[in-house]
């Protein structure tokens, strides 16, 4: 079943957000107006609406030996896509955080890294060793 996700988020600046997702991440652009835009992130729809500053509590949590952002979103991609994206962003000298293999040698093992967009959102890109383990318990 090929189901897509939709996530709507506030953003600080439409132009900076558009540039980050199109030029840096190389995502696609969907519908847009002066105050909102849709981004095609690997076939999933992100909608950003300009709203100014915002604040969230409980900014971090611990997973294994890592401190991770509580508020983040991401996409699960094949390992080849993950490697290409990581290499390209790394060569752009962008701040990539928490590049790691989580749950190593366990059900759910996956590669992951985070990058911050212009709105302060942490975007996670991950690739599971075994795709069947994405929702395994």
| pLDDT tens per residue across span 62-71 | 778 887 776 7
Question: Which one-letter DSSP state was computed for residue 23?
Answer: I
Question: Which one-letter DSSP state was computed for residue 65?
Answer: T
pTM, 2 dp: 0.76
pLDDT for the residue 137: 64
Distance CA 135, CA 62 (A): 20
Q: Are residues 100 and 127 in the same domain?
A: yes
Q: Are residues 92 and 120 in the same domain?
A: yes
The tally of domains found in the chain comes to: 2
Q: Are residues 101 and 136 in the same domain?
A: yes
Distance CA 28, CA 65 (A): 34
Domain CATH number, residue 11: 3.10.180.10
| pLDDT tens per residue across span 16-29 | 999 999 999 999 99
With CA atoms as reference, report the closest residue to 47 among 27, 62, 26: 27
Q: Are residues 96 and 115 in the same domain?
A: yes
| pLDDT tens per residue across span 104-128 | 999 989 999 999 999 888 899 999 9
Q: Are residues 82 and 123 in the same domain?
A: yes
């Amino acid at each position: 079943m090929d189901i897509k996700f939709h996530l709507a988020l506030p953003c600080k600046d439409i132009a900076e957000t558009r540039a980050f997702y199109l030029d840096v991440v190389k995502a696609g652009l969907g519908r847009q107006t002066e105050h909102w835009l849709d981004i095609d992130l690997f076939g999933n729809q992100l909608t950003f609406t300009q709203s100014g500053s915002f604040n969230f509590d409980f900014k971090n949590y611990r997973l294994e030996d890592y401190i991770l952002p509580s508020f983040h979103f991401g996409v699960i991609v094949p390992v080849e896509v993950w490697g290409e994206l990581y290499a390209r962003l790394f060569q752009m000298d962008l701040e990539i955080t928490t590049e790691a293999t989580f749950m190593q040698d366990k059900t759910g093992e996956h590669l992951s890294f985070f990058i911050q967009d212009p709105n302060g959102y942490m975007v996670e890109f991950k690739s599971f060793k075994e795709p069947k383990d994405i929702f395994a318990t």
